[in-house]
Amino acid sequence: MRIPIVTVTGFTALGSQSSNGGPQNNQFSVWSGTDTVSYTHGNHLFKFGGEIHDTRFSGSKSLTNDNGTFAFGSQAAFANATPLEDFLSGTVGTGSVLVGNASLLQPLAYNRYALFAQDDWRITPRVTLNLGLRYEYVAPPTTGNNVLGNINLQAASGLVQETGGNSVYSLPKDLFSPRLGNRVGRNRQGHDGRACWCYVYVRLPGVPANTAESAGHPNGV
C-alpha cells in the first residue's frame, strides 16, 4: 500500500517516501558471459578464461514526493477550526505529488571485462606450483543522452559535461592481479602443506555493482 505523507500542524507526520523507507524505483539488468579452457601438457595444467558483464541501470534510487504530500492546518474547515479538525473534515491546506516518469530517458551503462591465465605445474609427484595472472577493466559509466557531468578544475567552468557518449570519468586500465601458490603432498605421517599469495582489487563503495555481476568469476581470481 502506498500511503502519502500527511502532516497536521502540531502532530508527527504520517506516511512514507523513498527517502524514509518507502518505495524506490531501481531497475538493473546485467548480461554476463564467461568461458574457461583447460589444456594439459606434460606436468602442466593450463587454464585460460575470460568474462564480460554488460550492466544497465534505469531509474532513480530515491524519488522525492513520489507518494504525494498533504498538509492540514493552513486552510480552516470552519471558523476557529484546529488543524486536527481540518484533517478530520478532509480540508487540505496544500497538496503536491511527483508526476511524470522519473526514470532515466536512456539507461546508464558500464561494462566490465576480465581475462586470466593459470598454470598448475607439477614439479615433483608431491610438489605442485600454481602460477596465475588476471587482468580486469571496468569501463566508466556513460549514458546515451549525455546527462552525466563531473568536476574538472582544468575546464574553464570547472565542470565538464558528457558529450557523444564519451565518459566524463576515468578508471584505471592497469588492474593486473598476480597469483602464486604451492602444494606439498602428504608425507609418510599423513601431513601436507599449502601456501598461496595473490594481489586483488576491491571495488570501492559507490561503484555500481550487484550480486549477479559479482558471481561466477573464473577461478583465476
The 3-state secondary structure of 153-197 reads CCCCCCEEECECCECCCCCCCCEEEEEEEEEECCCCCCCCEEEEE
Give the chain's length: 221
Instruction: Evaluate if residue 26 carries a pLDDT over 50.
Output: yes
Determine, yes or no, domain membership for 112. Answer: yes
Per-residue pLDDT reduced to its tens digit, 138-186: 888 888 888 788 877 787 877 888 888 788 888 888 899 999 998 887 6
Please tell me the least confidently modeled range out of 3-12, 86-95, 187-196, 197-206: 197-206
Determine, yes or no, domain membership for 118. Answer: yes
* Helix spans in 10-124 (H): 83-89
pLDDT band for position 24 (cuts 50, 70, 90): low
Determine, yes or no, domain membership for 129. Answer: yes
Average pLDDT over every residue of 130-143: 91
Determine, yes or no, domain membership for 220. Answer: no
Determine, yes or no, domain membership for 30. Answer: yes
| 177/101: higher pLDDT | 177
Distance CA 66, CA 5 (A): 10
The pTM of the whole model exceeds 0.75: no
Report how many domains make up the chain.
1
Host domain of residue 147: 5-214
From residue 58, how far is each of 40, 55, 124, 137 by CA, in Å? 45, 10, 55, 23
